[in-house]
Structure 1
Amino acid sequence: MPLPFLTADRAFDDAAHDTALPFDDRDQWRRPYRPGPWRVGAAALLLLLASFVLFAAVIIALADSFGGAAVCAALAAILIATSLRLLRMGTWVSAHGVRRVGFLSTRTVPWTQIAAVRTAQQPVRWLGLPRTVQGQALVLVRRGGAADGQSLLLTDKNADFVARHEAFNRAADSIEAWADEYRATA
């Protein structure tokens, strides 16, 4: 039985080897890599927990306690929103610039404000926890020497790239290619 989502992935991978920017509509924001297994696993566990909480809300509603059912439904909605936000986190690119989507904040930097995008060896946070380990990071350097002139876009130890070094290298190369093309035209 053919699985169309697998053939689409293969087509995307083949196109990525031909050119660094395989997309026709470059004005649309897109993440140039797939979410990692840690991020997808955490979101799946939150959705599983949300399903149990929704089931509890139904049971509570059948017991004629609508206040408790509403609280359970609201908790399930928060869990679903959290899991969707976890899946949305990462670095996104378009013809407009680079967007770093965090859990609570989003920063967009236009290509005109970017001096360089490069890979560097430095201490990075492991899975976003306070513990730091030596690793690779994709660093965005802003023009004009601003106080926050450098910011991390990706690390090889975050939830998308732990134990996936080739995927980190492909993602970093892809983002650097976007930067090279659009900084030249900006």
Structure 2
Amino acid sequence: MPLPFLTADRAFDDTTDDAALPFEDRDRWRRPYRPGPWRVAASAVLLLLASYVLVASVIIAAAGALPGAAACAGLAVLIIAAALRLLRMGTWVSAQGLRRVAFLSTHTVPWAQIASVRTAQQPVRWLGLPRTVQGQALVLVRKDRATGEQRLLLTDRNADFLARRTAFDRAADTIEVWADEYRRTA
């Protein structure tokens, strides 16, 4: 079964193409980078746990305790949904705007409301934990906020880009190009 959200489009990886936006169908939401090894490993561990919970559900059902089996199966479904959502997290772009997918929420900002998308050197959270380290972040500044609120889109220390500096630079550059192209037309 193909999982289109798991891999980035191949056109983003083509470094020989001079066109920054090489797509005919720009209305489709795309993540301009692949999920990092930390994110994939965490999802794989969750899916492994879900398989054990499903086996336990079958054993409990064979023992005749159907409510317990249903509870285990429901827990396995929740774990599988969490693993898939973890893989879907990140920054997505399309002709409509820029979308930031977090674990429990999704925020979409139309291109007309974006003042700038830029890379900044600042303290960032390491793997999403409370500990901060000095790193680079792709920052979104919105026009409609009076205070110039900034929202982090990507960091070079998150689960997608830890120890993948060139992948962060390529993804940040691609998102900045999408923002420049569509802010001009919006």
When the two structures are superposed, what TM-score results if normalisation uses the length of structure 1? 0.91
**1:155-166, aligned counterparts within 5 Å?**
155-166=155-166
Task: Give 1:88's aligned residue.
Answer: 88
Give the letter aligned to residue 24 of structure 1.
E
Question: In the alignment, does 2:139 pair up with 1:131?
Answer: no
Give the letter aligned to residue 173 of structure 1.
D
8 Å Cα contact 2:11-2:22 kept in structure 1: no
Give the letter aligned to residue 118 of structure 1.
R
Q: Take 2:36 and 2:19, find their aligned partners in 1: how far apart are those partners?
A: 23
Question: Which segments of 5 or more consecutive residues in structure 1 lack a partner in the other structure?
Answer: 1-7
Q: CA deviation at 1:68?
A: 0.8
CA deviation string 1:35-93 (max 9, x = no partner) = 00000000000000000100110011111110110011011001001001100100000
Q: 1:94 to 1:54 in 2, by over 3 A?
A: same
Q: 1:109 to 1:123 in 2, by over 3 A?
A: same
Instruction: Count residues in correspondence.
Output: 179
Q: CA deviation at 1:19?
A: 1.9
Secondary structure of the 1:18 match is: coil
Task: Give 2:77's aligned residue.
Answer: 77
Question: In the alignment, does 2:186 pair up with 1:181?
Answer: no
Secondary structure of the 2:14 match is: helix
8 Å Cα contact 1:16-1:22 kept in structure 2: no
Q: CA deviation at 1:23?
A: 1.8
Question: In the alignment, does 2:61 pair up with 1:65?
Answer: no
Give the letter aligned to residue 77 of structure 2.
A
Task: Give 1:4's aligned residue.
Answer: none
Task: Give 1:39's aligned residue.
Answer: 39
Task: Give 2:150's aligned residue.
Answer: 150
Question: Which segments of 5 or more consecutive residues in structure 2 lack a partner in the other structure?
Answer: 1-7
Further displaced range: 88-97 or 144-153: 144-153
Give the letter aligned to residue 75 of structure 1.
L
Task: Give 1:107's aligned residue.
Answer: 107
**1:9-24, aligned counterparts within 5 Å?**
13-14=13-14, 17-24=17-24
Give RMSD over aligned pairs.
1.7
Give the letter aligned to residue 74 of structure 1.
G
When the two structures are superposed, what TM-score results if normalisation uses the length of structure 2? 0.91
Task: Give 1:169's aligned residue.
Answer: 169
Q: Take 2:16 and 2:91, find their aligned partners in 1: how far apart are those partners?
A: 17
Give the letter aligned to residue 116 of structure 1.
S
Q: CA deviation at 1:9?
A: 7.4
Q: Take 1:130 and 1:66, find their aligned partners in 2: how far apart are those partners?
A: 41
Q: Take 2:29 and 2:159, find their aligned partners in 1: how far apart are those partners?
A: 21
Identify the structure with the greater helix proportion: 1
Q: 1:10 to 1:110 in 2, by over 3 A?
A: closer
8 Å Cα contact 1:53-1:73 kept in structure 2: yes
Q: Take 1:45 and 1:139, find their aligned partners in 2: how far apart are those partners?
A: 31
